[in-house]
Amino acid sequence: MAFTQSAEFQQFKLSQLIYDTRFRSYTIQLFVLIIVLAALYWLLGNVVDNLAAKDKDINFAYLFVRAGYDIDQQLISYTNDSTHLRASIIGLLNTLVLAFAGCVLATIVGLIAGILRLSKNWIVSRLIGVYVEVFRNVPLLLWIIVSLVFFSETRPQPRDFRVTAEMAASGQEPIAKMMFNNSVAITNRSNNIPSVQFTNDLGVIDLGFVSVSVLFLATVFILVASYFTNRFVLRTATKVQWDTGVRPTTWWKSLSIWFLPLGIFFWSMGLYLDYPVLGGFNFKGGLIISQAFMSMLVALTLYTGAFIAEAVRAGILAISRGQTEAAYALGVTPSLTTRLIILPQALRVIIPPLISQYLNLTKNTSLGIAVGYLDLNGTLGGITLNQTGRELECMVLMMSTYLVLSLIISSIMNIYNASVKLKER
Amino acid sequence: MAVRNTNLAFARDEMLEAQLPPTSERGVIKWIRENLFSTPLNAALTLVALYVVYNIVAGFYPWISNSVWVADSQKECRDIVTGMSGEGATGACWALIRARWHQFMFGFYPPTEYWRPILTLSLLFVALAPVLFAGKNKSILILLASTTFLLFVTLLLVDGNISHVVFITLGMIALTALGYLAPVRLYWVTAFYPFLSIFLLWGGSFWAPFGALIGFVVWGVVYNLLQERFEAVVSFTLGLFFAAIWWFGLQGFVTDMLLTGLPLELEFVDSDRFGGFLLALTIGVSAIAASLPVGVLLALGRQSDMPLVKILSVGFIEFVRGVPLITMLFTASLLLQYFLPPRTNFDLILRVIILVTFFSAAYLAEVIRGGLAALPTGQFEAANALGLNYWQAQRLIIMPQALKVSIPGIVSSFIGLFKDTTLVAYVGLMDPLKGVTAIVRADMAWKGIYWEPYIFVGIIFFAFCFGMSRYSLYLENQLKTDHR
């Protein structure tokens, strides 16, 4: 006490700003602030000067001007008469679709590869090891280009699928055949798969910006209702288990809750599959998946899958062998050991790297420009930027969109991480 | 022993030879049974894996075995393959690589000057040797000797100018001898390497990078002189001040005088002639070298007690990590001109290096932060208790441990950075993957060729990245100090 008081009464010297640890941090922060402000002033001043020199201004009105270019993959309606803003949103949706599909597939590939790499089977673990090392150590761009070349150069042309009358008469086979019982056609122009169609239409709700099909809304509603009903059933079962010690069988209840209402609804709406058919020079009907999307998806899945496989392997290896042994000693069966003891602990290790892989995958979708996939980077940061010449505005919008996207993904995954991580007191 | 003493006729008096285990329990059969067919599931997996391997080999073998190495165009390749194996046969046309390898390696760098990038790369290994294998004199010597040998062979094959070959090889032998006699002195090469490599790669006056080096010497000398009297931060700032006076005031004048007096010059090579792996390595190596210190500073800033410093660091890191690299590269090529004074126009490669450095530094900062978080608080407290100041504690106690923990992460972000150098194709630079391949394919002779250039570039990238990841495993083992 006496020490601090005597220090307080000492006369303040200027040198204390540097030598006294109580004040030094303020001095340093002040300097940093001055430098940062000066740098900002300099940069913004330069921007103003440059804009004046080029006779430009900062103006976002270009977003509401007719875009004038076509986008072949569109989740909401778009024509080349739509605005640049709508084109950018189409691009964003394309980014999201690719990122979502990529994350799901990469997780599946990564999980399987990660577990198989630890397999005691020599040849399988070596094969997976080669896959992981080859994909991890070669640039993603190469895989994207190679998979585009694969789909557009090595797949058969649509006309190779044709069976002419003479060929049918002589029993000659066409050069290429559709896969899965004549339902999937992978050609060098596009990939056609069957699409789900309904004979009855419930109409659409026009929200001004987008029009949503009532059928789609009803499906979502039924799925949400099924989810909550199923959760209620499971919770009741758990409660019964706590009370009586016996868990009632629930699998048939869950199964019927999930599938019966949806099945009845689809049946009443007249669900059928629309198969692609060769007509003219191309396949018609069904769902057409562009080469660009397909090659991006394959490359992103395999590349990110290799990284996820490493994360999964590290996660499983991080669980000490004692855990398995202890479980066996308690008489827990091997499958239950994996489900109740190993996986919950391994997940805690796996999820943080998994989050960063999902983020990487989402950011890597921006490489779609390599194959002409019109995602956010291809529309807003590509064609729109080149047409309007508004680099500053386009780049700011694009970067902030990606930033928000990353923050949303990481916060969702962090919530999930918090829910599975070790609960400590 | 007991058996021998009884002397009974029906009892053996010597041990039988040990018999071999049953056939199913030894050799190949045992190995196959245990490793490939231990359970029905394993057997099924083995069969599936064998089928996959068979398909891969059967698909690629004819293509590889029909490789053509000498041809002038893809059509000629096809004709040769058809002549060898009949109609419809496919074959790899490596003749493309043979004809255009120099573009994949150097872009449009002038062919008479190829010795410069080759020497720069060799010197990189000399400069890295003492850093990579600190204290392992034998490894340093092996690395230097093999570099010298490879340099000699490469120069003989590529350059052909015998005086170049002799002088450069003698110089490298001298460096190898230095590495043998006093490996620690090799750090001088490391210190001079950045300036030397700039001079070798871009050419121009020797005195310009030399002048830049002198600035750093001034900085160091002033810092050391003032260190006794003042706080570290103060003498550091004053040193920077004097160095800036040299760089922006005196240097131009002095280096011009030196150039007229002693014209040490190489032919100037403009940045837009850089391409291929020369470009990838230039960007990759400089960004790797520059991003480590920036990353350390950002990580320390994020851990700092000073709120302003902390906010700035966190903001920077999260911003950079949230956007794709390609948008940063677009920023370098499209936007940087807005943020600089009108009519300044500095080199695109330099702009890209700066942006890639920032990008990589943000990722490194997160990796190093993980290392810092892994250190027990006792380490910080012990350093304080010893009376070390902040920078001493960081340098002597904290960083050596934190960096050691984060080696795998650091190396994997270096690998990521090196792979990402391919993206510079989108700002108009000639990266080996897309830029050079596009140029090569623009030639009518090689128009329809797809796989060969990608396989070639892929193999080289794989070699570099796989090498780095193996080195990180080696380093982890070397630095392991826990007692297991």
pLDDT single digits (tens) A308-358: 999 999 888 888 888 989 999 999 988 888 888 888 888 888 888 888 899
What's the domain range around B373? 273-484
Contact B367, B409 (CB under 8 A): yes
User: Which parts of B25-116 are beta strand (E)?
Assistant: none
Q: Are A291 and A371 in contact (CB under 8 A)?
A: yes
Which residues of chain A have a CB within 8 Å of the CB of B49?
121, 123-124, 127
Q: How many CB pairs under 8 A join A and B?
A: 151
In terms of CA atoms, which chain B residue is nearest residue A397? B327
* Contact between chains at A121 and B45 (C-beta distance less than 8 A): yes
User: Is residue B290 in some structural domain?
Assistant: yes
Mean predicted confidence (pLDDT) in B336-364 = 87
* Within-domain flag for B314: yes
β B204-205/A277-279 pair status: unpaired
Cross-chain Cβ contact A398/B312 below 8 Å: no
Chain A residues in contact with B309 by the CB 8 A cut-off are: 28-29, 32
Interval B240-269: pLDDT, tens: 888 888 888 888 788 888 888 877 888 888
Within A54-153, residue ranges assigned H as helices are 84-117, 122-136, 140-149
- Mutate which of A43, A399, A408 to disrupt the B interface (most B C-beta within 10 Å)? A399
Output the pLDDT for position A361: 94
What pLDDT was estimated at residue A213?
Answer: 81
Report the CATH number that the domain containing residue B431 is assigned in CATH.
1.10.3720.10
In a domain, B250, yes or no: no
Q: Do B326 and A47 touch (CB under 8 A)?
A: no
In angstroms, the separation between the Cα of residue A186 and the nearest Cα of chain B is 19
Q: Looking at residues B135-160, what average pLDDT do you find?
A: 85
In a domain, B190, yes or no: no
Residue B213 C-alpha, separation from nearest chain A C-alpha, in angstroms = 25
Look at chain B and report how many structural domains it folds into: 1
Per-residue pLDDT at B345 exceeds 80: no
Q: Does the residue B301 lie in any domain?
A: yes
pLDDT at position B483: 52
Q: Compute the mean pLDDT over every residue in chain A, rounded to the nearest whole number.
A: 85
Cα dihedral sign, B312-B313-B316-B322: negative
CA-based nearest distance A217→chain B, Å: 33
- Tell me chain A's radius of gyration from C-alpha atoms: 29
Cα separation, B117 vs B276, in Å, equals 12
Angle between helices B276-303 and B348-374 in degrees, nearest 10: 40
> From the list A121, A142, A369, which residue is nearest B36 (CB)?
A121
Which of B296, B331, B342 lies closest to B317 in space, CA to CA? B296
The pLDDT value recorded for residue B484 is 47
How much is the pLDDT for B416? 92
**pTM for the predicted model, two decimal places:** 0.87
> CA distances (Å), B43 to each of A208, A338, B36, in order?
59, 22, 6
| DSSP 3-state of B204 | strand
Which residues in chain B touch residue A124, judged by CB atoms under 8 angstroms apart? Answer: 45-46, 49
Closest CA of chain A from B370, distance in Å: 12
**Which has the minimum average pLDDT: A22-31, A119-128, B142-151, B282-291?**
A22-31
Which residues share a beta bridge with A287? Answer: A193
Of B38, B308, B433, the CB nearest to A120: B38
Tokens (6 digits) for B76: 């000629």
Residues of B in contact with A133 (CB under 8 A): 466
B108, pLDDT greater than 50: yes
B294: three-class secondary structure by DSSP: helix
User: Which of B56, B420, B421, B422 should be substituted to probe chain A, the one whose Cβ sees the most A Cβ atoms within 10 Å?
Assistant: B422
In a domain? residue B189: no
Amino acid (1-letter code) at residue B388: L
Cβ atoms B426, B326 nearer than 8 A: yes
Q: Could you tell me how many residues make up chain B?
A: 484
Give the one of A123, A137, A403 whose C-beta lies nearest to B46's C-beta.
Answer: A123
B247-284 burial: b if 16+ Cβ within 10 Å, else e: beeebeeebeebbeeeeeeeeebebeebbbbbbbbbbb
Q: Give the residue from chain A lying closest to B332, CA to CA.
A: A395
Q: Which of B433, B411, B40, B481 is nearest to A367 (CA)?
A: B433
User: Nearest CB to A141: which of B231, B307, B422?
Assistant: B422
Q: Using CA atoms in the order A197, A201, A206, A207, what is the torsion angle rounded to 10 degrees?
A: -60
| pLDDT at B313 > cutoff 90 | yes
In a domain, B42, yes or no: no
Task: State how far the Cα of A411 lies from the Cα of A406, in Å rounded to an integer.
Answer: 8
Give the position of tokens 């050991």.
A337
The token pair that represents A235 in the structure block: 């919770």
pLDDT at position B179 is 84
> Which tens digits make up the pLDDT trace of A198-249?
887 777 777 777 777 888 888 899 999 999 999 999 999 999 999 998 888 8
Q: How many CB atoms are closer than 10 A to CB A208?
A: 5
Q: With beta carbons under 8 A apart, name residues in chain B contacting A370.
A: 434
In the predicted structure, residue A279 carries a pLDDT above the cut 80? no
CA distance A374 to A293: 9
* Phi, psi (degrees; rounded to nearest 5) at B457: -65, -40
**Residue A13 pLDDT greater than 80, yes or no:** no
Token duo for residue A101: 């599909």
B interface test, pick of A36, A124, A310, A398 with most B CB neighbours within 10 Å = A124
Please check whether residue A287 is in contact with residue A192, taking contact to mean a CB–CB distance below 8 angstroms.
Answer: yes
Collect all residues of chain B within an 8 Å Cβ-Cβ radius of residue A399: 323, 327, 331
Q: Which residues of B touch A392 (CB under 8 A)?
A: 335, 338
The complex's ipTM works out to 0.87
Q: What is the length of chain A?
A: 425
- Give strand pairing partners of A213: A204
CA distance B258 to chain A (A): 35
Residue of B37, B311, B334, B339 to mutate for A, most A C-beta atoms under 10 A: B339
Contact A220, A259 (CB under 8 A): no
3-state secondary structure of B352: helix
Residue A5 pLDDT > 70: no
Can you list the positions of beta strands (E) in B170-231?
204-205
CA distances from B324 to A103, B327, B333 (A): 16, 6, 15
Q: Kindly determine whether residue B312 and residue A32, on different chains, have CB atoms separated by under 8 Å.
A: yes
B272 pLDDT above the threshold of 90: no
For the segment A254-275, the average pLDDT, to the nearest whole number, is 86
Domain contains B210: no
Identify the residue among B240, B309, B462, B484 best suited for mutation to test binding to A, counting A beta carbons within 10 A and taking the highest.
B462
B238 pLDDT above the threshold of 60: yes
Torsion sign over Cα B90, B95, B101, B107: negative
Task: Residue A145: list chain B partners with CB under 8 A.
Answer: 433-434, 454
Amino acid at A188: N
Residues in CB range of B31: below 8 A, 6 or more apart:
none
